[in-house]
Amino acid sequence: MHFDICLPWYWEYDLDFVRCVEDACRAQGLTFWQITPDTLLESVTALYQGERSFSVLLDRSQGDDRFLPINNWAWEYNKRRINPPELSAWSEDKATMHLELISAGLHTPHTIILPPFLEQPAIPQLDLSALGSHFVIKPSHGGGSEGVVLGASSLDQVLRARLEFPEQKYLIQSTITPRTIHGRPAWFRVFYAAGKTYPCWWHPLTHVFATVTPSEEYKYELAPLHKMTQRIASICRLDWFTTEIALTLEAFIAVDYVNDQIDTRIQSKAVDGAPDEVIKNVAEQLVGLAKDSM
């Protein structure tokens, strides 16, 4: 049996996204195969014995090595892989993306990049004055603010932070202060999916979303959010991701560059989930991409 789209997943909160993908497949006339931990052994066996196959892989296994044989099969048989892991690994490196975005002329926080502790345990005396009195310390990989230190103010904090993930590079960045628009910080998380961009207000402390409406986009001159995200997409070459952009008094600044381990929880189920319509649109875009690539 052959399927158009295969979607491996295990995180319970992905359920609504999976349903959106299934609905989009049904609407666009594509067949859909989801693989969960409960069906993993049987599914992989059928795949490798030639009893089942697929054309496009939309992988939500997010680093669970048990699902790797599915990706390996897709690579071996030259199937379309949405956000292939080797490209994700390159683009999720914040240090690499920082340099790529600067080269592309995009605004980013003033940044000092430090080598991994394991490569260079002792570093020369750093001049942190250009970062201001308080700054941000973050490892080059990971999401969900893991390992991030906000409001740091001393070299000792920098040196000690490097020990948490000693194999990773570290970024020391100036703190970005967004302007306030109608009582809320001008901080945005933009969803990108197969050529389309969906900008959302995103509070950096509460992580609560709100869709940027067309009237808000016009009134507050937020159209650059689309162009900036499209430029980031051309650099990272991923099919879908989110990016954080802040609007200061001077410019739009890319704050957190590329996140492809997207939290697909929806707002109707979780206070800090993404707007339901955005997740639905993302699913439709990805299914459309799959259809066009077959």
CA 204 to chain centre: 16
Q: Which of 22-36, 142-156, 274-288 has the lowest mean pLDDT?
A: 142-156
Residues 6+ apart with CB under 8 A from 65: none
| pLDDT confidence of residue 73 | 98
Residues with Cβ within 8 Å of 198's Cβ and at least 6 positions away in sequence, in order, are: 190, 191, 192, 211, 278, 281, 282
Instruction: Report the C-alpha gap between 213 and 215 in whole angstroms.
Output: 5
Write 209-215 long-range contacts (CB < 8 A, 24+): 209/267, 209/272, 209/273, 209/274, 209/275, 209/278, 210/275, 211/275, 211/277, 211/278, 212/188
d(CA 240, CA 131): 32
- In contact, 173 and 114? CB cutoff 8 Å: no
Q: How far is CA 213 from CA 50, 206, 217, 219, 279, in A?
A: 48, 20, 6, 10, 16
pLDDT score of 142 more than 90: no
- CA-closest candidate to residue 54, choices 78, 18, 36: 78
Q: Is residue 144's pLDDT more than 80?
A: no
pLDDT of residue 261: 87
Tell me how far CA of residue 84 lies from CA of 50, 56, 75, 129, in angstroms. Answer: 22, 11, 9, 40
Confidence of residue 104 (pLDDT cuts 50, 70, 90): very high
Question: Which of 34, 37, 43 is CA-nearest to residue 10?
Answer: 37
Cβ-based burial of 204 (10 A; exposed 0-12, middle 13-18, buried ≥19): middle
State residue 124's pLDDT score: 83
40 vs 70: CA distance, rounded Å: 9
**Which pair of structure tokens corresponds to residue 43?**
């599914």
Other CB atoms within 10 Å distance of the CB of residue 72: 12
Residues 36-46 have pLDDT tens digits of 999 999 999 99
Give the pLDDT of residue 51. Answer: 98
Task: For residue 69, give the nearest of 47, 52, 37, 91 by alpha carbon.
Answer: 47
pLDDT value of position 294: 86
Dump pLDDT digits (tens) for 229-285: 999 999 999 999 999 999 999 999 999 999 998 999 999 999 999 999 999 999 999
Asked whether the predicted pLDDT for residue 98 surpasses 90, the reply is yes
Report, as an integer, the average pLDDT of 2-15. 97
Query: Phi and psi of 147, rounded to 5°?
Result: 80, 0
38 three-class SS? coil
Give yes or no for a contact between 7 and 21, defined as CB atoms under 8 angstroms apart.
Answer: yes
Give the pLDDT confidence score for residue 62 in this predicted structure.
85
Average pLDDT of 167-178? 97
What is the mean pLDDT of the segment spanning 128-151? Answer: 90
- pLDDT reading at 146 higher than 90: no
Q: What is the mean pLDDT of residues 115-135?
A: 93
Span 182-203, average pLDDT: 97
User: Stretch 182-206: mean pLDDT, rounded?
Assistant: 97
* Structural domains of the chain, ranges and CATH numbers in brackets: 2-83 (3.40.50.2300), 84-109+176-259 (3.30.470.20), 111-174 (3.30.1490)
pLDDT digit string, tens, across residues 54-83: 999 999 998 899 999 999 999 999 999 999
